[in-house]
Chains A and B, each alone.
Chain A
Amino acid sequence: MQVFPAKRKKRIANGALLFAAIIGSLGISGCAMQSSSANGGGPPPAPMVPAAQIVLCDDLSSSCTAATSFSFSTLRDLNIQVQWTNVPAGNHVQQLDILLPNQGGLYQTTQTAFLISGSSPGSITTSRMFPVGGTWISQRQMSGSWSVQVSLDGQVMASQAVEFNP
């Protein structure tokens, strides 16, 4: 039997959880469950895990093409879309934190509540216009790698780096 150091065990456990989350988010956990439960045994079904994808775009572009780098001398508002999947039915609260470059702390935080109707997990997309042009970001040339972090019901679910340049 191979014995893993505690730290490595933890990494493996985290990796398994991450894998379950990815499988869950891809919506193929049902297939795996069916194949493994044919003889009545096997592991319990992987729970459907909520997943978030953050999409950033310049609201003025008609196609809202996703990007992660913007010039604050031309960008007016950053359109922050959060695409949620596998969110359990019920009331939820999304928190969107905009973090300063260089681990500089919280710039802005906003909360958005939404309801997943029915009794099964669902999908929803939230959108927020984050003002950039004419704000301190452009006036004070706050360039660098910012971070957009999204939480669901108090748990951080995704983070996306965004570069603001002159």
Chain B
Amino acid sequence: MKRYEPIRKITRAGKPLAWGAILLLILARPAAATERVTIQISAVNLQLRAADTFLDQAAPNTVNGAQQTFAVRSLTGNSNRRAIVMFDLSSLPNVGIKSAILTLHVQTPPSATRTYEAHNVTSFFTETNATWNTRAPGIPWGAAGGDFTAAATSTNTVTNASTTLTFDITADVQTWYNGSPNYGTLIKDSAESNAGGVQTVFWSKEAPVQTNAPSLTVTFVQNVASIAATPGNATLTVNWTYPAALGAVVRPTTGVLVLRRQNFPVDKASWPGDGTSPAVCSVVGTGKVVFKTAALATTFTDNFTCPGDPPPNNSTWFYKVFIHDSVNNYTVNGTSAANGASTYTMEISATPSAAVANQQRSLWIAATHSTNLADPALFPGSIIMVGSQSNLLIGIDANTQLRKYPPVSIAGPVTGRSALIDSAETTVAQNVLFLGDQQGLVYAIATDTGRILWVVNPTGLATNIIFQGGASIQLKSLSTGFPFADDLVVVGTRIGTTKTANQVFGLDANTGATLWALTGNSGGAPPMDIINSTPEIDYMHSAIWVTSNSNAGTQPSLWKINPANGLVIATASLNDIDGSPVLTAASDVLFVGNKAGTLFAVDPTTLATKTFAGGDGAIIGFPVVVGSSSPYTVIFSGATRVHAVTYTVATGTFAPLWSTPINVPSAPIAITGMPNVFVGSNDGKIHELSLATGTDLKQVTANTGQPGFVGDPSLDLTLSRIYVSTTDQRAYGFAFPF
């Protein structure tokens, strides 16, 4: 009833102006709803992340991705053909999928009626490498002919009169919006190896008439936008906006439903079922319905009045906000409890308190689906990129706090922080992220679009090759005597099966081509154990610094490498090192910490070392250096404390500054000129310490798991924000100082 009151009041006024106001209200009303779009390559939708091809059993090593058509064939004598179609869903970054219909346009129909199956593809492939045998550079399919789900998602028949063929792939598309990678859809004949042979030819996205290209008609409900939580004293207000429509409106948006949970995020497997209307104060999964409206409200103040609500102050409350349409379809993706139908539904958190100083809130929360504790990569004021160990890369718009696009699907888990380079500085001419994964592949990804620019397999290995650390990039524009046409990407391997023959690669940043490779125990190089760290580029000394393990102290673990040719300039044996090396701003000292807890100050020219052994256990991640000239302040984390020391170059001496107890700290982050140090902990918090004294000034809660590990923080100085990932499969943004 309440929803009609405003209109009734205007109607009673009976003035023409009132009708105009109604019209304006309708026109100005946020248009998001249950909507429908058809995704197909066109002049305005370039489908940069799309791919289609066919795998030909008779020509098992032939790449067919560039052809204008693809075929599905059943023919005996190992001559079957299977097609793969993958769409770029970037235009739908924040949605709950209700329906997805794949349409293929027939170029040449079959001679007889056939039944075709659509299967979800389960392994990464590239259009430029996929064959019957191979899916990516140097990597075969798990089973020749493609890796796909055993059960068909959908089947349909094609006849000699067919002009199109459709498949309902709703269930697969929903999993792509629930944290599973999107590797596309494989189409195959349900009865392969036909004696006479029968084939259907379909138009590909390279078709001369683009309206003949494969299309995907998607029905969806968008997420809310601009979600924010504001804490008060025993009260908490959540605000949001409704996004503009992306497609044709099927049903109007009529409101939101809000779930709330104390101390933990609302579980991804908790959601209101489509068509249902749970009552306020009822329990839905791990959440409680605290607000439901059939009007287009944009704010809700939670006074914690449901029966059984505990005192709200000083607890962190998590909210998940679902848009619903006129028949109560929500921003959820299907009904899979295993995958979690509300994985990517928008959520936010805040902590009310009687003391204003203790009130806190997150600025955004983004699901990562699995755990990643590396510091998020970022381009300040623009984008945050978070890797995941479920083969995804999540791009967050730093300003709107929304996903820029559906996660980028790559081949393997991502664990290292990767270089993200501004278009003004790199020769690739886009904002590009470089990373390696646990499949042994290295990527360049345009963060503006999520498009994979190139992917290479530098080792050529298909198994047991991991890039555990991140990639570094040497910018041509900042280098002197640089011999290459483009920037240089540097990555080091973790090949667990060898303690002596790990490798460091120099790759062309524009193409991924290997410019040089340094292999341990080869070409005069000393033996090289596994590398878990990210290389450091030294422009001053024209060198690349790499750390490694040491094969129980018998091999070098610090490597100075010539960026022009990959030859070893010098090494040092500092025992096992898992963390990354860090140069001072003046490049006059290299700091590195090892697993034994020793902090080294290394002269970059002579490799002479000074040591500080006052830490507590293995040095976590990397040390942080503050100061533009000596004496430097070096901050590093041990097992239970964060330490700060000063280092004076002239005397080569360390001096302890402070040591603050923090539960299992992450690597710290601090910036020259800032008064504070930030560090994650396993108490679920980010701690803000005084750089001068180490005093634990204030904390914000990011992860209240037991224990809740908070990863290495990143700082966005443009927006004064701090970003972390956590073991609760989420990334968080907060404002700083706290």
Query: Which residues of A does B touch, CB under 8 Å?
Result: 59, 76-77, 90-93, 100, 102, 104-115, 129, 131, 133-136, 138-142, 153-154
Contacts and interface: CB of A to CB of B under 8 A. Distances in A.
B148 A91 contact: yes
Given A129-B496, A131-B466, A141-B639, A108 B413 contact: yes
Interface stretch (B138-146, B241-249, B535-543): B138-146
Contacts of A135: 415, 468, 532
Contacts of B43: none
A140 B705 contact: no
Contacts of B549: 133-134
Identify which of B147, B369, B620 gathers the most chain A CB atoms within 10 Å of its CB: B147
A109 B390 contact: yes
Given A108-B389, A113-B141, A154-B149, A59 B496 contact: yes
Q: Is the interface of B mostly helix, strand, loop or mixed?
A: loop
21 contacts: A90-B150, A91-B143, A91-B147, A91-B150, A92-B150, A93-B148, A100-B727, A104-B727, A107-B370, A107-B371, A107-B389, A108-B389, A113-B123, A113-B143, A115-B143, A129-B496, A133-B578, A138-B578, A139-B578, A141-B639, A153-B149
Contacts of A141: 639, 664
B123 A140 contact: no
B634 interface: no
A135 B711 CA distance: 12
B143 A108 contact: no
Given A107-B370, A108-B390, A131 B496 contact: yes
Interface residues of B, number: 50
B1 to A, nearest CB: 42
B496 A93 contact: no
B44 interface: no
B190 to A, nearest CB: 12
B468 A134 contact: yes
Nearest to A126: B142
Given A136-B371, A140-B664, 12 more contacts: A102-B707, A105-B371, A106-B369, A106-B729, A110-B412, A112-B142, A114-B142, A129-B496, A133-B549, A134-B468, A134-B576, A139-B618
A111 B390 CA distance: 9
A4 to B, nearest CB: 28
A115 to B, nearest CB: 3
Interface of B: 122-123, 141-145, 147-151, 338, 369-371, 373, 389-391, 412-413, 415, 438, 464, 466, 468, 494, 496-497, 530, 532, 549, 576, 578, 618, 620-621, 639, 664, 666, 682, 705-707, 709, 711, 727-729
A153 B496 contact: no
B127 to A, nearest CB: 19
Contacts of B706: 102, 104
A93 to B, nearest CB: 5
Contacts of B466: 129, 131
Nearest to B371: A107
Contacts of B620: 139-140
A88 to B, nearest CB: 8
B558 to A, nearest CB: 15
A77 B389 CA distance: 16
Nearest to A109: B390
Contacts of A59: 496-497
Nearest to B412: A110
B122 A110 contact: no
A76 B149 contact: no
A140 B371 contact: no
A161 to B, nearest CB: 18
Closest 9 CB pairs of A and B: A113-B142, A113-B147, A115-B143, A134-B532, A108-B389, A134-B578, A77-B496, A153-B150, A107-B371
B338 A154 contact: yes
Contacts of A107: 370-371, 389, 727
Contacts of A115: 142-145
A133 B464 CA distance: 15
A136 B375 CA distance: 12
Nearest to B148: A91
Contacts of A92: 150
A134 to B, nearest CB: 4
A136 B373 contact: yes
Contacts of A106: 369-371, 389-390, 729
Contacts of A76: 496, 530
A129 B464 contact: yes
A93 B120 CA distance: 11
Contacts of A139: 578, 618, 620-621
A138 B142 CA distance: 31
A93 B143 CA distance: 10
Contacts of A129: 464, 466, 496-497
A113 B389 contact: no
A133 B576 CA distance: 11
A31 to B, nearest CB: 29
A79 to B, nearest CB: 9
B369 A93 contact: no
A88 B734 CA distance: 50
Contacts of A142: 709
Nearest to B373: A136
A153 B620 CA distance: 38
Contacts of B151: 153-154
A131 B468 CA distance: 9
Contacts of B369: 106
Contacts of A154: 149, 151, 338
B470 to A, nearest CB: 13
A110 B371 CA distance: 13
Contact of A140 (B373, B494, B496): B373
Contacts of A105: 371, 705, 727-729
A141 B148 CA distance: 37
Contacts of A134: 468, 494, 530, 532, 549, 576, 578
Given A102-B706, A139-B618, A111 B123 contact: yes
